[in-house]
Amino acid sequence: MKLVMQLWYYEDYEDGVKLGLAAKEVLFRDKSDFQTVDVIETESYGRMLLLDGLVMTTDKDEFVYHELISHVPALNHKKPERVVVIGGGDGGTVRELLKHPEIKEIVLCEIDGMVVEVCEKYFPEIAKGIRDPRVKLNIGDGIAYMEEHEANSLDLVIVDSTDPIGPGEGLFSGAFYKSVARALKSDGLMVCQSEGLWHPAPVLQRIHKNVSAGFAHVYPYIASIPTYPKGTWSWTMASKNAIDIKNFDKARLNKIEATGLKYMNEDLMTGVFALPNFFKAKLKS
């Protein structure tokens, strides 16, 4: 009899549910000043980045998250030039934003330098934009950075954070969103990841309430990501003044699609804002 040992990664969700992925090997494991950082080679999703044991990104499905958090706000702004990304140390959001030639400067503010170093080594296709001349890498606290930022000076702020625990917890507070709003111009847009549709209602309501503390207009949107909790995720775009999500820049989208978008297209630019009733109820209840 031949005994074969199989390495598996599991992420436990609530309600007795867990995600399991067969793994080939652990490529990297260490602990920074803020969190544990792991890179695992999986059989089905390629390399996978874990922070504090939770899935952040994988080779196979990362494009969904990064295209959604980047192109939706960029194409809903008339002419984005100055952008700040809070978190996003894997570089995927920066990579997508660099597809917009109108953007002149992207400040990537990531608190954990180890995340940047690990992703540049193990995820070169995701992190390839970090050293672009238009990108300024700032290893530091995103909360303090936004509090001290010049008022009315930014076009986009993208909060590409971890979950509202550990180093990412403060990035979900009402005070933080108020500082983001202060730094944005009158037509500026903010986007944050806002957890999964199946998260408990109190968690989703708290995020929605705190975003609304800084912004008068809030626009949640959703997409499917297989390796995120229960397979469906949400983002929230917010603005000081009302915008028409149907009036995105189609000409710019067509140019960017030519560079090889895997997920976003003209139909989905509005389609992602179609929300199921149970999720709407969670946000309001």
* Token output for 225: 């990501």
Percent of the chain with pLDDT over 90: 88
**What class, spelled out in words, does domain 62-284 have in CATH?**
alpha beta
Rounded to whole angstroms, the Cα distance separating 149 from 125 reads 30
Rounded to whole angstroms, the Cα distance separating 105 from 89 reads 17
For residue 54, the cross-strand partners are 51
Q: What is the pLDDT of residue 61?
A: 98
* Domain extents in the chain: 7-58, 62-284
Count Cα neighbours of 191 within 13 Å in the Cβ-side half-sphere: 28
Instruction: Indicate the fold that domain 7-58 takes in CATH.
Output: Spermidine Synthase; Chain: A, domain 2 (2.30.140)
**Locate tokens 């202060």: which residue?**
182
Instruction: Give per-residue pLDDT as tens, 101-133.
Output: 999 999 999 999 999 999 999 999 999 999 999
DSSP 8-state code for residue 243? -
DSSP 8-state code for residue 95? H
Predicted structure pTM score: 0.94
Instruction: Give per-residue pLDDT as tens, 1-31.
Output: 455 567 999 999 877 889 999 999 999 999 9
Determine the 3-state secondary structure of 22 from DSSP: strand
Give catalytic residues, as residue numbers: 160
> pLDDT tens per residue, the chain (285 residues)?
455 567 999 999 877 889 999 999 999 999 999 999 999 999 999 999 999 999 999 999 999 999 999 999 999 999 999 999 999 999 999 999 999 999 999 999 999 999 999 999 999 999 999 999 999 999 999 999 999 999 999 999 999 986 665 665 667 788 999 999 999 999 999 999 999 999 999 999 999 999 999 999 999 999 999 999 999 999 999 999 999 999 999 999 999 998 889 999 999 999 999 999 999 999 986
